[in-house]
Amino acid sequence: MAKSKKKDKPVILITNDDGIAAPGIRNLVDSVKDLGKIVVVAPDKPQSGMGHAITIGVPLRLHPVALFEGVEAWQCSGTPVDCVKLAVDKVLRRKPDLCLSGINHGSNHSINVIYSGTMSAAVEAAIESIPSVGFSLLDYSVEADFTGAKKYARLIVELLLKNSFDKHLVLNVNIPAVPEELIAGMKVCRQAYAKYEEDFMQRIDPSGRQYYWLTGKFVNFDKGKDTDVWALEHNYVSVVPVQFDLTNYVLKSKLEKTWKL
């Protein structure tokens, strides 16, 4: 990984989508605090499910906060992607050497990568030529045990700081919700083909009008043993490298032949 000067500590930007007060981001900061100069820029409120949303019609606020001992931290009124953009342009005024997002409270495996604010922040960093990793623990609880997640977050950051990787690297790392000693190790995987089957909950408000809550059942269509879902079911930490070139090259060839343009 490129550092500005050989002897300088690497600059590590940390963000999330659960908001700057979530336990997950505090655990992430703790786990890598001594590996670089940490700067936190994170949303001032929960931003789960925001995907790659950016804030266009409304201005953004950015305030310094003293939430992490000895670590510069800012809360931002926007989305996780806004946080990365503001961090680079207005807080750091340079590209950090690495961007970390999370640790998310809840899984971001398989199709979740597309809805996840945690992962979209990481993808945004990679678009800006900043290698990045999103971390998610398969436990939604505020009292989740982050011991295993912290260990693997640190291990992955050490690996990335040691080896030189592409500046567009993005890793989607999910950690199973089991005690640290039961984690079987790490597995590099592909994204499982899975989806949510929608089932909106229909209710009536006090004025007699209908409204809907989004709910859904997770369905995994993918029986492959090389997927993130398989790895997590077998107590591995799943590591899926992610790309932002969304071109479907197989379909591209097929269309070129079929449409004869």
What minimum distance in Å lies between the beta carbon of 118 and a second copy? 13
Q: 13-42: which residues touch a second copy (CB under 8 A)?
A: none
What minimum distance in Å lies between the beta carbon of 73 and a second copy? 17
Angle (nearest 5°) at CA 251 between 249 and 255? 120
Amino acid at 223: K
With tokens 């310094």, the residue in question is: 64
Question: Applying CB under 8 A, what is the total number of residues that bind a second copy?
Answer: 76
Segment interacting with a second copy (CB under 8 A) among 31-39, 93-101, 145-153, 181-189? 181-189
Q: How far apart are CA 170 and CA 125, in angstroms?
A: 8
With tokens 């932002």, the residue in question is: 244
- Which of 170, 173, 177, 229 contacts a second copy by CB under 8 A? 170
What minimum distance in Å lies between the beta carbon of 59 and a second copy? 4
Dump the DSSP string for 103-167. EEES---TTHHHH-HHHHHHHHHHHTT--EEEEEES---TT---HHHHHHHHHHHHHHHHS---T
DSSP summary character for residue 79: -
What minimum distance in Å lies between the beta carbon of 8 and a second copy? 23
Q: Residue 207, interface with a second copy (CB under 8 A)?
A: no
Q: Residue 130, interface with a second copy (CB under 8 A)?
A: no
- Which of 19, 71, 72, 115 contacts a second copy by CB under 8 A? 115
Closer Cβ to a second copy, 67 or 127, answer by number? 127
Segment interacting with a second copy (CB under 8 A) among 4-12, 56-64, 93-101, 143-151? 56-64
Q: Residue 229, interface with a second copy (CB under 8 A)?
A: no
Q: Residue 243, interface with a second copy (CB under 8 A)?
A: yes
Give CB contacts under 8 A, 24+ apart, made by 162-165. 163/1, 164/1, 164/2, 165/1, 165/131
